[in-house]
Amino acid sequence: MMEDVFKIKNEEDRVSALYDIFDESTRLSTKATQIEFLTTIRQIEKHLKPGMKILDLGAGTGEYSLYFARNGFEVTAIELVEKHVMQIKEKINSEMSLQLFKGNAIDISMIEDKSYDIVLCFRPLYHLVKIEDRMKCIEEVKRVCKDNGKMFFAFISNDMVILTETMCYNSGFLNGDTYNHENFKLVDFPFVFHTVEDCRKLLRDSNLVINSEVAADGLSELLADKINNMDDESYRLWLNYHYYCCEKPEFLGASNHLLFITEKSTLD
Ligand SMILES: C[S@@+](CC[C@H](N)C(=O)[O-])C[C@H]1O[C@@H](n2cnc3c(N)ncnc32)[C@H](O)[C@@H]1O
């Protein structure tokens, strides 16, 4: 039962049990779910230069790590869940420079200070239940990133989840008790949810400078059935429209996944 998973105190056991319910290896396999991946890759590539080193924290089943390793970059992937580590391992080939560690994003002491140009922190922030641990994770990201490097963080939008839950999965959602009826804050289960302002506060409290804020998947989950039925040309045009919208501030909150691109403050 999903509720039992949340009672598990040990971080690794809880996250592992969650991914026994959610199959991460197929999450990005439809036209609709691919939008988040393609948008994120496009944003990373704006900052990527040949020879740069990439660290992927919370690498899942390796979609981002493998993509960049296949494209000739030196990549390090760190992942908490053993099953996911094994799934990445199976896909690494001898032509890739991909180092893989099983580890927790709040302590990556195996990684040297200031050693990566690009640090991806996609998801640990919405698994780490305690705010102190989310801050610790961001401190680790800052520590291992070069002074002129870029740090990418992903969040799940509190406000958009209410919309998609109600419209796609449970029409009685708004009658339920999984959110505060006054301020619309969701109960942080099975993930930790952030409003756009929560994301900004967390990153700024960690003394990071926000360069860009991106609606990573926009309305894709809400419109999944329509998007999945598009022919390839319609999908290409839809994607192009999404790319046009995704950096507009007025679209930001209306996206299930939020991507923040940051750099170190010169005052740090
Ligand atoms: C939803 S998956 C996303 C994978 C991939 N980064 C992506 O964006 O598609 C989140 C991954 O983060 C991992 N994870 C969660 N908390 C973590 C932590 N504290 N340290 C390392 N990995 C963690 C989970 O095990 C899971 O594989």
Long-range contacts of 40-49 (CB under 8 A, 24+ apart): 40/64, 40/122, 40/152, 40/154, 40/214, 40/216, 40/259, 41/67, 42/243, 43/152, 43/212, 43/214, 43/259, 43/261, 44/68, 44/118, 44/120, 44/152, 47/118, 47/150, 47/261, 48/73, 48/118, 49/117
pLDDT band at 1 (very low <50, low <70, confident <90, very high): low
Query: For residue 218, what are the contacts with CB-CB under 8 A and spacing of at least 6?
Result: 35, 242, 245, 246, 251, 254, 255
pLDDT, averaged across the chain: 95
Whether 124 is in the pocket of ligand 1, judged by its Cβ within 6 Å, is yes
Q: Residue 5: pLDDT above 80?
A: no
Percent of the chain with pLDDT over 70: 99
Residue with tokens 């099975």: 190
Q: What is the C-alpha separation between 177 and 94, in angstroms, rounded? A: 51
Pocket of ligand 1 contains residue 105 by CB under 6 Å: yes
Of 15, 44, 83, best ligand 1 pocket probe by most atoms within 8 Å of the beta carbon: 15
Among protein residues, the one with the nearest Cα to ligand 1's atom 17 is: 124
Q: How far is the CA of 101 from the centre of ligand 1 (A)?
A: 13
Q: Is the dihedral of CA 135, 136, 141, 146 positive or negative?
A: positive
Each residue's pLDDT tens digit, 31-62: 999 999 999 999 999 999 999 999 999 999 99
**Mean pLDDT lowest among 8-12, 138-142, 208-212:** 8-12
Beta carbons of 241 and 205 less than 8 angstroms apart = no
H or E segment to which residue 154 belongs = strand 145-156
pLDDT in tens, 152-176: 999 999 999 999 999 999 999 999 9
> If you measure from the C-alpha of residue 120 to the centroid of ligand 1, how many angstroms do you get, rounded to a whole number?
11
Q: Is 55 helix (H, G, I), strand (E, B) or coil?
A: strand
Residue range 63-80, pLDDT digits in tens: 999 999 999 999 999 999
- Contact assessment for residue 118 and residue 52, using Cβ atoms and an 8 Å cutoff: yes
For residue 242, the SS3 value is helix
User: What does the pLDDT look like over 127-141, one tens digit per residue?
Assistant: 998 999 999 999 999
Query: Ligand 1, from 10, 18, 79: best to mutate by most atoms within 8 Å of Cβ?
Result: 79
Least confident residue range of 8-12, 137-141, 208-212: 8-12
Q: Enumerate domains of the chain plus CATH numbers.
A: 2-264 (3.40.50.150)
Whole-number Å distance between alpha carbons of 100 and 85 = 8
Phi, psi angle pair for 174, to nearest 5°: -70, -20
Look at residue 238 in the predicted model and tell me its pLDDT: 98
Residue 212 has a pLDDT of 98
Q: Is 59 in the pocket of ligand 1 (CB under 6 A)?
A: yes
pLDDT tens by residue, 238-259: 999 999 999 999 999 899 999 9
Q: Are 264 and 209 in contact (CB under 8 A)?
A: yes
Dist CA 80 CA 141 (whole Å):
16
Nearest CA to ligand 1 atom 1: 123
Q: Which amino acid, one-letter code, is at 7? A: K
**Predicted pLDDT at 239:** 98
Q: Is the CB of 15 under 6 A from ligand 1?
A: yes
Query: Is 203 a pocket residue for ligand 1 (Cβ < 6 Å)?
Result: no
Inter-residue contact 256 to 220 (CB < 8 Å): yes
- Across 112-119, average pLDDT: 98
How far is it, in rounded angstroms, from Cα 107 to Cα 133? 10
